[in-house]
Amino acid sequence: MKTVNTISEARDEIAGWKEAGHSVGFVPTMGFLHEGHLELIRHAASENRRTAVSIFVNPTQFGPNEDFESYPRDLERDLELAKEAGADLVFAPAASEMYRGTPAVTMKAAARTDVLCGESRPGHFDGVVTVLTKLFHILQPDRAYFGKKDAQQVAVVKGLTDEFFFPLEIVPVETVRESDGLAKSSRNVFLTEDERMQAPKIYKALQAGQRNYEDGFHAESAKTEILRHLAEIEGGETDYAEILQYPELVPVTEQSREIIAAAAVKFSGARLIDNIIWTVNKGGN
């Protein structure tokens, strides 16, 4: 595995792969890799001849009151883990390499951003689409891998690549869960023992919402069902629960084909998010 810090070195490496006709998988990360990232890297490595991983804590996707400075970093450990998971190249640039003064052109995520977690993070997804456009141009992947755990990010990224016809495929990768259904997350370690016992109820609430929706195709009723289940979580305060059309993240209509049920719950030491996405199947067609 090779590690490079400059765009020019990354381009050289990718050019060699392209010349040899190798397919390229790409996993963008902000480092401090956990099981979710490694699953993405393994997926990329299994579907492409070469796999590139970026490790870049992107300043433009943090709000002024967010934790950019204190965001955890451990490059040495990340490199070890990325290599084990199957990465061939790690691109770990400095912020000054990716952002060179006042931007001549800017990007704005104009849809899919004012719901779910995006509602409380104005500008966050502008930073996401900006840095991904740069990374896609530098690493020129055939496929880029994103975890479904952050379904809104997947939706915004699909919006980006569909809107501008990027020559690559976005591959959403299934959320990895503990045996009791709790979605894996670095934040789970911040839960108390009691909270850890309660946390799987988020997933169960979403599943109940899906069943309710499939019974009557009433989004409001399904949302109420999720909220009812979330209210039973001891020590957890519901932040939001939504049933929306996916990936547009707009209210469900008769025409909606893919549906997302998503929720966020605040515990004493961590705010957990989860979601499930399914395809509507009316009358077995």
> Is 105 one of the binding residues for a second copy (CB under 8 A)?
yes
Residue 229 among known ligand-binding residues:
no
Q: Tell me if 255 contacts a second copy by CB under 8 A.
A: no
> Which two tokens mark 241?
């629960």
Window contacting a second copy (CB under 8 A); options: 23-31, 46-54, 97-105, 145-153: 97-105
* 139 vs 191 by CB, closer to a second copy: 139
Catalogue the long-range contacts made by 155-160 (C-beta closer than 8 Å, 24 or more residues apart): 155/112, 155/246, 155/247, 155/248, 155/249, 156/109, 156/112, 156/113, 156/118, 156/125, 156/128, 156/129, 157/128, 157/129, 157/132, 158/247, 159/109, 159/111, 159/112, 159/247, 160/109, 160/129, 160/132, 160/133
* 112 is a site residue for a second copy (CB under 8 A): yes
Helix axes 35-47, 75-85, angle to 10 degrees: 40
DSSP string, 126-192: HHHHHHHHHHHHHH--SEEEEEGGGHHHHHHHHHHHHHTT-SSEEEEEPPPB-TTSPBP-GGGGGS-
Query: Which of 126, 225 has the CB closer to a second copy?
Result: 126
* Nearer to a second copy (CB atom), residue 45 or residue 144: 144
Instruction: Give the contact letters, 118-157, x = binds to a second copy (CB under 8 A), - = no.
Output: -----------x---xx--xx-x---------------x-
Task: Confirm or reject binding of residue 103 to a second copy (CB under 8 A).
Answer: yes
- Per-residue x/- track, 18-47, a second copy (CB under 8 A): -x-x--------------------------
Question: C-beta of 212: minimal distance to a second copy in Å?
Answer: 29
Q: Does 160 bind a second copy (CB under 8 A)?
A: yes
**One residue of 69, 96, 104, 254 binding a second copy per CB under 8 A:** 104
What is the three-class DSSP state of 110?
coil
Supply the DSSP string of 36-59, one letter for each residue: HHHHHHHHHHHHSSEEEEEE---G
Give the residues lining the site for a second copy (CB under 8 A): 7, 11, 19, 21, 100, 102-112, 129, 133-134, 137-138, 140, 156, 159-160, 162-167
Which residues belong to the annotated binding site for beta-alanine?
A: 61
Extract the annotated binding site.
Answer: 30-37, 61, 147-150, 153, 176, 184-187
